[in-house]
Amino acid sequence: MSIPRWLTFFLMVLLMTTAGTVSAQQQDQTPEALLEQLADASPRDTEAAIKAIATSGHERARAWLEAYGNNRISQVEATGRIVIVLNNRGRDWEVADALTGENLGEMSRRDLDRIAINNAVRRQLAGVLAMLDLFAKDVAVREAAALDLLGKVDDAIVEEVTARIEEEPDAGVRNRLEEALAIYQVEEQGSLDAIEVLSGSLHPRARAALNSAVASEDPARKAAAEQALASIQQKLRLNNAAETLYFGLSLGSVLVLAAIGLAITFGVMGVINMAHGELIMLGAYTTWGMQQLLPGQPGLALILSIPAGFLVAALAGIAIERSVIQFLKGRPLETLLATFGVSLILQQLVRTVISPLNRTVVTPEWMSGSLVINDALSLTLNRMYVIGFALLVFTALMLIMRRTRLGLEVRAVTQNRAMARSMGIKATRVDIMTFALGSGVAGLAGVALSQLTNVGPNLGQNYIIDSFMVVVFGGVGNLWGTLVAGLTLGTINQLLEPWAGAVLAKIIVLVFIILFIQKRPKGLFPQKGRAAEG
Amino acid sequence: MWLTRPLQERSTQLFLGILFFALIVVTVLHLALPEGNPLHVSAYTVTLLGKYLCYALLAVAVDLVWGYLGILSLGHGAFFALGGYAMGMYLMRQIGDRGTYGDPILPDFMVFLNWQELPWYWYGFDMAWFAFAMVLLAPGALALVFGWLAFRSRVTGVYLSIITQALTFALMLAFFRNEMGFGGNNGLTDFRDILGFNLRTDATRLGLFIATGIALAIGYVVCRGIVTSKLGRVSVACRDAEARTRFLGYRVERVQLFVFVVSAMLAGVAGALYVPQVGIINPSEFSPIFSIEIVVWVALGGRATLYGAVIGAILVNYAKTVFTGVMPDAWLFALGALFVLVTVFLPQGIAGLLRKRRKSTDDGSGPSESSSTSEATA
Amino acid sequence: MTTFKKQLASVVMAAAMGAGASVVYAEEGPIKVGVLHSLSGTMAISETALKDTVEMLIEKQNAEGGLLGRELEAVVVDPASNWPLFAEKARELLAQEEVDVIFGNWTSVSRKSVLPVVEELNGLLFYPVQYEGEESSENVFYTGAAPNQQAIPAVDYLMNEIGVERWVLAGTDYVYPRTTNKILETYLMDQGVAKEDIMINYTPFGHSDWQNIVSDIKDFGSAGKKTAVVSTINGDANVPFYRELGNQGISSTDIPVVAFSVGEQELSGIDTGPLVGHLAAWNYFMSVDSDANYDFIDEWIEYTGDETAVTNDPMEAHYIGFNMWVKAVQKAETTDVDAVKDAIIGVTVPNLTGGYATMMPNHHITKPVLIGEIQDNGQFAVVWETPSTVAGDAWSDYLPGSRDLIADWRAPMRCGNYNVKEGECGASAGEQAKAAE
Amino acid sequence: MSIMTELAARDRVFNFLTPTDSPVDVRHGPILYLEDVNVSFDGFRAINNLNLTIDDGELRCIIGPNGAGKTTMMDIITGKTAPDTGSVWFGSRHNLLTMSEPDIASLGIGRKFQKPTVFEALTVFENLELAMAADKRVFPTLTAQMKPKHRERIEEVLETINLQDLRDRPAGILSHGQKQWLEIGMLLMQKPRLLLVDEPVAGMTEQEMERTAELLTSLAGKQSVVVVEHDMGFVRSIARKVTVLHQGSVLAEGSMDQVSNDPEVIKVYLGEEA
C-alpha cells in the first residue's frame, strides 16, 4: 500500500481546496467516473480508485471516503446510481445521492449493492485521511492524525511528513511526527539515530519497530535496539504495576458497589436477600429504559438513571419487604429461601416482559475511551467513573448511617429492637426504610454495571455470590469492612490473574475466604461485645 | 441397637411399606404388562422415577443436617456431584476401548485434548469396589475437612450457609476447568455398562431403579436411627441451644461433624445412583442454585421429619417434569412462588399439615411422636 | 398448530405419565417433529429463536400440503438449559411421543448428553450449531459448521489477506474452544508460525473482568508483527470483552478480532460502536445479498411480528436441515428412520446464501464460509468468501487422535470412525446400541 | 498458656504434666480459685482484679447490683469467656483457662443460666436424659441404651423437681418457674462437684422458693454451690457466706449480717433492692 510521490502534491492541493482557497487543478475525471471506478474496482484496484478520489479535489471527496470507510456507499442495482446510505437499520434503508447529496428517501435492501471494503483498504484509507487531517486547524485533530500515522508512514508520504515536522507549530504533534518518522526509518532504512529517538517512546508501535531491529543481523543496530528496549522495559515495569493496581481497584470498586447494598440489608437488618442481584439487574434495566426514552443522548439518560435506578430498586425493595420479609422476622435462613424465590420470579419476569436477550446500553462519549497517562499506561474512563461512583455512594451511605436520624434509628433498632420500640421508634418503618435504602443502592450498582457488562436477565446471578463473600469477609454490619474487603478481594484477584489465570484466581480467592472465615468467623471487622456474642 | 430401633417405629414401617409397595408395583407393571397397555410403565417412566428417588435420598440427607442439626447447607449439591463423579469415572473406565478413539485407557475427552497418560487420581476407578468406596469417601472426606474447620471455629448459621455456598461454587469453577481432567463443561457421558450390565437395556434401568429404592430405604433407616438415638436428641439440643449443650459436657462440634459427614455420604450415594440413570454428570450439578433448590424440596415437604423431605423432593420434581413440558416459561414463576409461599405460609411444610390432621384424629402420642412435633415447631 | 392444542396434548401426556402409563398413538395421523431447545434457563437466549424457526418451517410445510399427505406436528419440550434434562426430554420425545425426527440442542454438552439416547432408540437428530467436530453418529446430522468450515478458513483469511503473523487464541473454557484452538494451534504451526507467536487464553463462562487479559493482548500485539485475536469466547462474556478492547484503545485496524460465536443475535444486545470493523466467521449472515435470504428474512419478520427480529447462522442450519429431511422423506416415501438415514445422504437443497448444501456420507453438510465485518447497525458486511462450498470434516486432520479417522454411513462401510490406517472400524456408539438390542 | 510461661511459673505443677481427666484435687481445701482476673469488652471493664475462693462443699451466695460482673464471672469459670489476664483453677490441678466448655462441664462444673435455657423442642424427660452424667462422646451417645437404673435416676429427679406429670410434654410449654426447676433438675442429673446457679428463684412463687432453698442447702456439703441472686430474702434464707461484687471486683465478704452492715455495701446498695 504505497502512495506514490505525486500524491503528496495533490494532497497539498486538496488541502487548499478543502481549506476553501481556489485551486487551479485539472479535472481529469468526472466525479461519476471516480465513483464508478470505486464501485467496479476489484480488490486490487480499489487502492487506485481511492487515490483518484482523494486527489480529485471534489468537495465531496472526503465525505465519500468516510462513507466508504463506514460501509455506507452502495450502488442501486437497477440504475447503477451510487448512493450514500444514511440509515442502514431494518429492511429499508434511507439513502442520498452520492453526487448531489439529495435525499432519495428509503430503498429496499434488496435493490442496493454495497460497495465492499475490508480492513486492508480501511488501513490505507486511514493513512490517507490522516494525511488530510495533518493540515487541519485544530491541534487535537492534528495530534490524533499524527498518532494515527505511527507505523503508517511509508516511502510515499515520508517526505511529506518530514516537511510537516518543519512547519508543525505544536511541539506535541511534532514529537509524534518525529516518532512516526523514526519508526519508518528504523523499519525501512535501519538507521541508528532513529533508534535513539524511539528509546524514549512507550508506544507499542515503537517497541514493535525496535523488536524488528533487534532481529537484524547488523550487531550495532542490534545492540542499540536492545539497549533502547531495555530502557523502555524499565519504564514499562513501573507502568504495569500501576496498571495492575488500577485494575484491582476498579474490580474492587465493582465488588464494593454490588455488595454495599447487601451490607445494609444483610449486615444491618440480618436479612439474607438473595434477590439482591435482581435488584442490581433492575437498576441496569432502568438505565436501558432511560436510554430508550431519551434516544440520542445516552449521557443525560445515564445521569438521570442514577436517581431513577435508585428509585425503581428501592420501590421493588419495599415491595419485597412488605410482601415477604416482614413475615420472616428473626428467621434469617427462611428469608434466604423466600428471597431466592423472589429472585427467580424477577428474572423470569424480565425474560417474559422485556426479552430473554441482552439489552443494548450505550456508553456515552465522555465515558468511553481512556485517560492517557503515557503511551503504555492509560486508565479506562468508564472504570474510573465507576471507582469514583463507588466511593461517592460509600461516603453517602456512611453519612446517612452516622449523621442522619434514620441512621440513628436503624442502629438503635439493630442493637435492641424492643428497647428502640419502647423509645417510640417505629421499628417497622425503620425496617422498610433500611431495606429500601439497601435495595436502592443495589439499583445504583446496576446503573454502574450497565456500563461494564451485559444488561440481561442473568446479570444479577453473576454478582450475588461475590457480594455475599465481600460482606462476610468484611464483617457483617460494618460498612468499612465491606469497603476494605471489596477492594482487597478485587486487588488480590487481579494480582493473581496474570500467573494463575482468571478461573484459578477466582477459585483461590474463594478458598482463601473460606479459610479466612475459619480463622475469624466474624470477618475482618467483627462486632464486639456481649450483644454480638448471642 | 440404634439401627434396628427405627424398624419398630410405626412411622418408619409405614414409610418402608409404601416405598417397597411402590417399587413392586412399578416393577410388575413394567415387566408383566405389554407395551401399549394403558397401565404399562415404560422404561422412560422407570428411569424418571429412579431419578426422583435419587433426589429423595439427597433431600433426606439435607433434612438430616438442616432439620435436626440446624445447619442449613447450601453446598450439598457438591457432595451429590462428587459421588456422581466417582461413579462417572468408574463408568468412564468401563467403556474401555469402545470409545470413539478406541483408546483402552484414556477416556475420549482426554484423547482429543491429547493427554498422554491417565492422571493419577483416575487410577483405581476401573475397579468397581474402589469406585464405590470413593462414592462414600470422596464426599465424606470433603465434609470431614470442611466441617472440621468450620465447626471447630464455631462458624454457624448464616455464615456457614454462605461458605458452604462458596465451597460448591469454587468446586463448580474448578470442575469447569478442562485442566482438571474431569471433562470440563461436557463432563462425563456416553456410558456403556455398569458391573457388566449394559446401561442401555431396560432391564438394567429397572435394576438401577430398584437399587435406588433400596438405597433410599437404607438411607432413611440410617437417618431415622440417628435421630431417634440419644445422639439425635443431642443434635436437636445443639440446634436449639448450642451453648447449653456444651455446658452439659457434649462436644457440639464433634456431634455436628459426625452428622454432617454421614449426610454428605448419603448425598454422595444419591449422586452415584443418579449418574447412570440420567447418563451424564457435569459441573452444573455443583451450581449453587441446585443446592438451594434441594433445600426448598425439604422446606416444602417439612423440616425435621425425613419423610417430608422425600415427599417434597418427589413432588417438586414431578411438578418440574410436567411444567417444563406444558408451559416452560411458567415453570420458574411456579418454582419462585413455591419458595415464597412455603417459607412464608407453610413453615412446617406438607408434613406439618399432615401431622395437624393426624393430631386432631388421635391424641395418643408417645415420646417420639410428641418430640417430632415439637422439633418441627422449633 | 395453536399453543393451546399443544398444551392440551402435553397435559394429557403429563397426566398419563403421572399415572405411570405411556400413551399409545395411532400409526397414521400427523408426522411428529420433536423440538428440543431450551426455552428457559441460560441458553433460552439463543435457543428460543431456533424453536420458533422450526415451528415456522413446519407451518410453511403444512401450508404447502404437509408431507406424504400427512400433516406435520411440532412437539415442543423444554430441557431448561439443564444437561441431564436434555437426555430425559429426548427420551420422552422418542419413547413417549414417538416423534419421527428431532431438531434441537445448542451446546456441545447437551448434544453429548442426548447422543446415547438417540442412538439407543434409533432416532434422528438435526444439530444446527457450529461445533468442535470429533464426532459422527449414525443418528445425528450436523448441519452446523465443523472446525474446517469456520475456524480454518477464517485463519487462512487473516493470514493471507490481512498478513497476520502473531495469534491470540482466546476462548471460554469448554470443549468447543479447547478443540478448535488445539486444531488451530497445530494448523498454524504447520503453516510455519512459531510457538511464541501463539498466545492461548481461557476464561470461565460469563467472564466479566477482561482488564488484565486485554492488556496482555495489547502487549502481545506490540512485538512488531501483525497480530489478530481468534475469539471462541462464548455468549455473555463478549460484551465486556469488546467494551474493554474499545476502552483500552485497541481498534479493529490495530488488532482485529475474528469471532466464531458472535452472530447477529449476540450483536443485538451489544453497543456495536466499539466493535465496528471486527470480524466474524460464519456460513451465513443476515446481510447476505441473495433473494432466498431476503425471502427468509421477510417470512421470519412476519412470523415473529417483530420488525427488528434478526436471523442468524444456526437458523439457516435448521432451514437447511429441515428441507433436507423433508426431501429425504419424500425420496424414501416414509418417515421410517433407517430409510430416511439412507435416503438423505447426497440430498441437495438450496441454502440461504444463494448456493446449495449437500448432505455428505459423514452426516455433515457442505457450506460456504463467509468472513463478515461488524457494522454500526449490528449487521455483518461480508468481506471475504470461500470460492466454493466446503464439506464438513467430522474428524480433524490436525488432531493426532483423529488424523486417520473418517466417517461414512453408506453401506457397506456404515462406520462413524473408520480408521484408514488399520483399515477397520473402531467400535462406535451406534453399533454398541445395535449389539445391545 | 505457652510452654515458656509454663516453665517460668515454678510455683505450681506444670499444666502439660497434669492429666486433665484426673479427679479434682481438693486436698488443699478450696475447689475454685480466681486470681486477679480481668475482662473488658471494648473498653468497658466487666471484671476488675477479681479474687475469689470457694471451698469444697461450701454454699456461697454472690450478690451485687446489675453490671457488677456476676454473669461474666460465671462465663469465665465455665469457659464461655476468656479473661484478658489472671488465672482460674478448679481444685489445685485443673487450670480452667486451658479447657473448653465441654471439658469443664465433664470435669464437674454445672451451670444454670440466668435466663432459664432448656431444650424446648425436647420433652422434660429427654432434657434430663441429655443432662445425665454419662459417656458423652459421639459414638457412645449414638449407641447409648436407656438402662433401668438411668430411668430410675431420672424419675427420682422428676420427683424432686416435681414435674412427673409433664415428663412427656415438650419443655417449650413449661412456665418460667417450671423451666427454672427443670434446669436445676438437669444440674442434679449432671452430678457436678460445683454448681453455678444464676438467679434460681426469678419468677418463682413463695413455696417454690422455699423448696429451692431446701434443695440447694441439702446439696451443700456433698457438692459446692455458688448462687448468684438478687432476692435478698432468698439469699438470707440460705446464705452462710456472702460475697458482694461491685464493678467487677469483690467489695465485701462474710456472713449475711456482716456484709449487710458494711457501710461500703450499704452505699452501693442505697436505693437498690434489698
Q: What is the DSSP string of A190-252?
A: --HHHHHHHHT---HHHHHHHHHHHTSS-HHHHHHHHHHHHHHHHHHHHHHHHHHHHHHHHHH
The larger pLDDT score, comparing residue A127 to residue A284, is at: A284
Report if residue C412 sits inside a domain: no
Copy the grid coordinates of residue C251. Answer: 481498534
CB atoms closer than 10 angstroms to residue A531: 11
Distance from CA of A245 to the nearest CA of C (A): 11
pLDDT on residue B12: 92
Q: Which chains touch C (3 or more CB pairs under 8 A)?
A: A, B
CATH code for the domain of C265: 3.40.50.2300
Range picked from A520-524, B95-99, C274-278, C355-359 for highest mean pLDDT: C355-359
Whether residue B144 lies within 8 A of chain D, CB to CB, comes out as no
Inter-chain touch B371–D110, beta carbons under 8 Å = no
Report the residue of A272, A329, A337 to disrupt the B interface, i.e. the one with the largest count of B CBs within 10 Å: A337
Contact C319, C352 (CB under 8 A): yes
C422 inside domain:
no
Q: Nearest CA to CA, how far is B234 from chain D (Å)?
A: 7
Q: Do A356 and C48 touch (CB under 8 A)?
A: yes
- D224 part of a folded domain: yes
**Widest distance between CA atoms in chain A:** 95
Substitution target in C212, C298, C352 with the highest count of A β-carbons within 10 Å is C212
Are the Cβ atoms of B166 and A352 closer than 8 angstroms?
Answer: no
Which residue in chain A has the smallest CA separation from C252? A119
Chains D and A touch (3+ CB pairs under 8 A): yes
CA distance A135 to D91: 97
- In this complex, the residue of D78, D144, D168 whose CB is nearest that of residue B247 is D78
Q: For residues C265 and C384, state if they share a domain.
A: yes
Measured between CB atoms, which of B98, B177, B200 is closest to C427? B98
With a cut of 50, say whether residue A454 has pLDDT above it: yes
Domain of residue D55, residue span: 26-122+192-269
Nearest CA-CA distance, residue B257 and chain D, Å:
10
* Average pLDDT score over chain A: 83
Residue B141, Cβ neighbours under 10 Å: how many? 15
Are residues C323 and C182 part of one domain? no
Question: In the predicted model, what is the mean pLDDT of chain C?
Answer: 86
- Residues of B within 8 A of C397 (CB-CB) are none
Residue of B nearest to A270 (CA): B158
Residue A359 has what DSSP assignment?
B
pLDDT in tens, D54-98: 888 888 998 888 778 888 888 889 888 888 888 898 887 888 888
Nearest to C279 by CA among C260, C297, C296, C265: C260
Tally C-beta pairs within 8 A across A and B: 122
C306/C383 same-domain check? no
**Domain-located, residue C404:** no
Strand, coil or helix: C75: strand
Strand partners, C344: none
User: Chain B: nearest CA to C269, how far in angstroms?
Assistant: 21
C-alpha cell at A336: 434466604
Beta carbons within 8 Å of A434's beta carbon, 6+ residues apart: A264, A265, A268, A269, A406, A410, A413
Pairwise CB contact (< 8 Å): A530 & D42: no
Q: How many CB atoms lie within 10 A of CB B290?
A: 20
Min mean pLDDT across B18-32, B51-65, C245-259 is at C245-259
Q: Output the nine-digit C-alpha cell for D59.
A: 454454699
Best of C208, C270, C301 to mutate (most A CBs within 10 Å, chain A)? C208
- Residues from chain C that touch B40, judged by Cβ atoms under 8 A, are 21-22
CA distances from A248 to A300, A381, A385, A488 (A): 29, 15, 15, 8
CB of D241 within 8 A of CB of D55? no
Give me the half-sphere count of Cα atoms (radius 13 Å) on the Cβ side of residue C258: 27
CA atoms within 13 A on the CB side of C47: 24
Least confident of A449-453, A474-478, B236-240: A474-478
Residue D164 CA to residue D179 CA, distance in Å, equals: 13
A–D: how many Cβ contacts below 8 A?
A: 5
Helix axes A479-500, A502-519, angle to 10 degrees: 140
The residues on A that touch B, with CB distances below 8 Å, are 266, 270, 272, 274, 323-324, 327-328, 331-338, 340-345, 347-348, 351-352, 461, 465, 468-469, 472, 476, 503-504, 506-507, 510-511, 513-515, 517-519, 521
User: Quick check: D131 and B248 CB within 8 A?
Assistant: yes
D41 touches chain A (CB under 8 A): yes
pLDDT for res D108: 86
Q: Which of D105, D125, D170 sits opposite B247 (nearest CB)?
A: D105
Our count of domains for chain D comes to 1
End-to-end CA distance of chain C: 36
Pairing of strands C415-419, C405-408: antiparallel
Which residue in A has a C-alpha nearest to residue D71's C-alpha? Answer: A530
Tell me: do C262 and C129 sit in the same domain. Answer: no
CA atoms of C174 and B178, how far apart (whole Å): 7
Tell me, yes or no, whether C408 lies in a domain: no
Please provide the DSSP assignment of B171-238 as one string.
HHHHHH-GGGSS-GGG-EE---EETTEETTSHHHHHHHHHHHHHHHHHHHHHHHHHHHSHHHHHHHHH
Same domain (yes/no): C230, C271: yes
Specify the pairing of strand C424-425 against strand C415-419: antiparallel
Q: How many CB atoms lie within 10 A of CB C333?
A: 10
Give the DSSP letter of residue B36.
Answer: T
Please indicate, yes or no, if residue C267 is contained in any of the structural domains. Answer: yes
Q: Is D237 domain-assigned?
A: yes
Q: Report whether pLDDT(A228) > 50.
A: yes
Q: How many CB atoms lie within 10 A of CB A443?
A: 32
Range B352-373 average pLDDT: 53
Closest approach of D71 to chain B, Cα-based (Å): 15
D159 lies within 8 A of chain B by CB: no
Are D137 and B251 a contacting pair at CB < 8 A?
A: yes
Residues 6+ apart with CB under 8 A from A301: A287, A290, A291, A293, A294
Report DSSP state, residue D210.
H
List CB contacts (< 8 A) between C179 and chain B: 112-113
Domain limits for position C31: 3-145+290-365
Asked if C247 lies within 8 A of A368 by C-beta distance, the reply is yes
Residue C41 belongs to some domain of the structure = yes
Burial A446-472 (b: 16+ CB within 10 A, else e): bbbbbbbbbbbbbbbbbbbbbbbbbbb
Name the residue in chain B with its Cα closest to that of D74.
B247
Crossing angle of the two packed helices A171-184 and A155-167, in degrees rounded to 10: 150
Q: How far is CA A337 from the centre of its chain?
A: 36
Cis ω for the linkage preceding A364 (within 30 of 0)? no
Determine, for residues A119 and C377 on separate chains, whether the beta-carbon distance falls below 8 Å.
no
Please compute the mean of the pLDDT values over residues A403-411 and round it to a whole number.
Answer: 86
Smallest CA–CA distance from C6 into chain B, residue: B326
C295 touches chain A (CB under 8 A): no
Contacts of C294 in chain A (CB under 8 A): 109-110
Tell me how far apart the alpha carbons of residues A532 and B157 are, in angstroms, rounded to a whole number: 14
> D161 and D125 in contact (C-beta within 8 Å)?
no
In C192-229, which positions are buried (b, 16+ CB within 10 angstroms) versus exposed (e)? Answer: ebeeebbbbbbbbbbbbbbbbbbbbbbebbbbbbbbbb
- Give the C-alpha distances (Å, rounded to integers) separating C186 from B24, C180, C399: 57, 10, 8
Per-residue pLDDT tens digits for C121-156: 999 999 999 998 888 999 999 999 999 999 999 999
* Chain C residues 215-234 with a CB less than 8 Å from chain B: none
Q: Is D212 inside any structural domain?
A: yes
Q: Is B212 on the interface with C (CB under 8 A)?
A: no
Q: Nine-digit cell at D72?
A: 461474666
How many angstroms separate the CA of residue B232 from the nearest CA in chain D? 8
| CA D93 and chain centroid, separation | 19
Positions of chain C with pLDDT under 50: 1-3, 8, 11-26, 427-437
**Is the Cβ–Cβ distance between D148 and B284 less than 8 Å?**
no
Using CA atoms, how far apart are residues A54 and D7, in angstroms rounded to an integer? 94
Residue B368 has pLDDT above 50, yes or no: no
Q: Are residues C83 and C155 in the same domain?
A: no
B154 contact residues in A (CB cutoff 8 A)? 521
Round to whole Å and give the CA distance between B78 and B103: 30
Q: Is residue C418 part of a domain?
A: no
Q: Which amino acid is at A224?
A: A
The answer to whether C290 faces chain A, any CB pair under 8 Å, is no
| Cα–Cα distance for residue pair A259/A272, rounded to 1 Å | 12
B197 touches chain C (CB under 8 A): no
- Chain B hits for C78, CB-CB cut-off 8 Å, are 324-325, 328, 331
In angstroms, the CA A514 to CA B185 distance is: 24
| Per-residue pLDDT at D5 | 55
Give the pLDDT of residue D188. Answer: 86
| Helix, strand or coil, per DSSP, at residue B287 | coil
- Asked if residue D175 is part of any domain, the answer here is no
B100 contacts: CB under 8 Å, gap ≥ 6: B108, C134, C135, C416, C417, C426, C428, C429
pLDDT at A186: 81
> Which of C14, C91, C417 is the closest to B325 by Cβ?
C14
d(CA B110, CA B99): 11
User: Can you read off the three cell numbers belonging to residue B360?
Assistant: 386432631
State how far the Cα of A455 lies from the Cα of A281, in Å rounded to an integer: 7
| Residue bearing cell 416444602 | B300
* A149-169 tens-digit pLDDT: 777 777 767 777 788 888 888
- A-C C-beta contacts closer than 8 Å: 170
pLDDT per residue as tens digits for the range A301-344: 999 999 999 999 999 999 999 999 888 887 877 888 899 899 99
pLDDT band with cut points at 50, 70 and 90 for residue B361 = low
Q: Do A281 and A406 touch, CB atoms closer than 8 A?
A: no
| pLDDT given for residue B148 in this prediction | 93
Interchain pair A502, C207: CB under 8 A: yes
Cα(A204)–Cα(C223) distance, integer angstroms:
8
Residues A84-126 pLDDT 10s: 888 888 888 888 888 888 888 888 888 888 887 776 777 777 7
Looking at the 3D structure of chain C, how many domains does it have? 2
Euclidean distance between CA atoms B160 and A518, whole angstroms: 10
In this complex, is the C-beta atom of B372 within 8 Å of any C-beta atom belonging to chain D?
A: no
Q: How far apart are CA A470 and CA B374, in angstroms?
A: 37
Optimal mutation site among A453, A459, A461, interface C, most CBs of chain C within 10 A: A453
Mutation target vs D (from A527, A530, A533; most D CBs, 10 A cutoff): A530
Take residue C392 and report the three cell numbers written for it. 464438513
Set of chain D residues whose Cβ sits within 8 Å of the Cβ of B240 = 119-121
ipTM score here?
0.84
What are the residue boundaries of the structural domains of chain A, listed by start?
240-460
